[in-house]
Chains A and B, each alone.
Chain A
Amino acid sequence: GAGVSQSPSNKVTEKGKDVELRCDPISGHTALYWYRQSLGQGLEFLIYFQGNSAPDKSGLPSDRFSAERTGGSVSTLTIQRTQQEDSAVYLCASSFDIAGGDTDTQYFGPGTRLTVL
């Protein structure tokens, strides 16, 4: 079946603009995760969803960042008033569930490369 898809693949925006990033998880996966990866850095956890609810928002860097998930499927990550330090690759992953065992294995999408000028 299809893997995790993300759009757009690249986004260039001006400082101060809002951007919206989209993630479409693997069909049937109930858990969805957002990470970001800055150049040469590791993956930074942002937020995860179980169904439509977000039990863990601890990684969101500031109140300019928000995310939602509707219908237990597609998720959008919104960054308001973008800053240059927001430039990074934003990665989405999904897993079947969070019950442990191999069902919590996360599969990643191709990412969205965000550049804030």
Chain B
Amino acid sequence: QKEVEQNSGPLSVPEGAIASLNCTYSDRGSQSFFWYRQYSGKSPELIMFIYSNGDKEDGRFTAQLNKASQYVSLLIRDSQPSDSATYLCAVNTGYSTLTFGKGTMLLVSP
């Protein structure tokens, strides 16, 4: 069974700190990896995607992918209270269907 694992949290960080969110996946054939943010009562919104090993930066967000270790992470620099949400890791495991982790709740305190 294809699985995507995330720590449920909550991960608590002070405003201005770096938040590090981690995700592991079981299917070595996975090709594309996505991070979504979901505010309470809202639908998931895409933050960024990554396909190649290494880092990908977009503003305050950096996604890191290590296919050998089957590990993908999201770093949020200069965390803001508005970043408080649940962060979903999703992995494309074939036929374009995504397998989602259960999400990590991030709490950024002022």
Bind each other: yes
**How many inter-chain contacts with C-beta < 8 Å in the A-B complex?**
58
Inside 8 A of A27's CB, which chain B residues have their CB? none
Q: Are B34 and A105 in contact (CB under 8 A)?
A: yes
Q: What is the interface residue range for chain B against chain A?
A: 20 to 34
Residue B69 interfacial (CB < 8 Å): no
Q: Are A42 and B101 in contact (CB under 8 A)?
A: yes
Contact with B along A79-94 (1 / 0, CB 8 A): 0000000000101000
Minimal Cβ-Cβ distance residue in B for A31 = B96
Residues of chain A touching chain B, judged by Cβ–Cβ distance below 8 Å, are 31, 33, 35, 41-43, 45, 48, 50, 55-56, 89, 91, 95, 98, 100-102, 104-111
- 14 residue pairs of the A-B complex, CB under 8 angstroms, read A33-B98, A42-B102, A45-B99, A45-B100, A48-B96, A95-B96, A100-B96, A102-B49, A104-B32, A104-B96, A105-B49, A106-B34, A108-B36, A110-B42
